[in-house]
Structure 1
């Protein structure tokens, strides 16, 4: 299946010059959604993962399904102010702004094997910040997976210390 055919591209969103990859069209297509989850599951099946970690919000979509398929737990990485317990915070830069991510301090037991999953690898800021949070808690990042990679933004270079898998790539 060609997943690019299921992803809508919207020029100049959220600002001029950005080519937004809208995955809502893929998510509503049951065959495309199943295919995507099955591909992630195939990539993860031999990694001996304890936890799947997904950044808000689209990492939750793929992360919980993948965690279920590979018999792992799921940990959400949230945007500021949404976690009710003790947290760690990591700031990062997006391709069009700045933000921060948070994780509960007790989400990961030292030595646990972690797979990070999100919808998009662009500049690598979100995924690198997620990996740093995991490593602060002494988890081992064994893989990073994304639905889409924007290759011209060179986010993979920021993640060169990690195994990175993407199902679809675009120049930008």
Structure 2
């Protein structure tokens, strides 16, 4: 099966929910991919094919769906996985980054010492929308002295132009307007 066929299988497995989490929103759910072993295998193959020859030292997954994707990539390319979590979820000493949401603020944290030195980081998550969450993760990683090589997501809502906020390359398997 080639990558075009794999991508078609992944796209078809994404579930769509209208008016969730509120009226007027069309929600694209990656859990349909995880409920379909063929689609999950195809997604994994596409992700690994994309990163296999990248020069990265660490895979960082964003809370919470990045925790599903990051370890798959980490094991496949033999690089460590580090989580970025929401405030109060990580033990030990942490570095924090506040960021704005559509309605309010949130805080990301990373454990101090989990990435040491000038490491090259690949950030993974399920979705790139407005870019605020991903931009906060990039800022947090840079604040500990590491470099972000790329942001890798399954889906991108390209009409929201979130990648313009990132300042680093971004790659998405699927794009929606």
TM-score strictly above 0.5: yes
Residues 52-104 of structure 1: per-residue CA shift (max 9 Å, x gap): 00011100101000011111000001111111111111122345653221111
Matches within 5 A, 1:131-170: 131-159=138-166, 161-170=167-176
Deviations 1:120-172 (A, max 9, x none): 0001111111111110111111111000000111101112x21111000111x
Alpha-carbon distance in 2 for matches of 1:42, 1:139: 24
Report the TM-score when normalising by structure 2: 0.91
1:78 is paired with a residue whose SS is: strand
Mark the runs of 5 or more structure 2 residues left unpaired by the alignment: 1-5
Which of 42, 63, 67 is the matching residue for 1:60? 67
1:90 and 2:105 aligned: no
Equivalent pairs counted in the alignment come to 170
1:4 to 7, 11, 29: 11
Aligned mate of 1:27, from 31, 34, 38: 34
Aligned to 1:47, the other structure's residue is in SS state coil
Q: Any runs of at least 4 consecutive aligned residues in structure 1 with deviations exceeding 6 A, and if so which?
A: none
1:74 aligned to which of 63, 81, 86:
81
TM superposition score normalised by structure 1: 0.94
**Cα RMSD for the two superposed structures:** 1.3
Distance, in Å, in 2 between the alignment partners of 1:54 and 1:18 is 25
Residue in structure 1 matched with residue 129 of structure 2 by the alignment:
122
Distance 2:130 2:153 in 1: 13
Q: Is the 8 A contact 1:95 1:123 kept in 2?
A: no
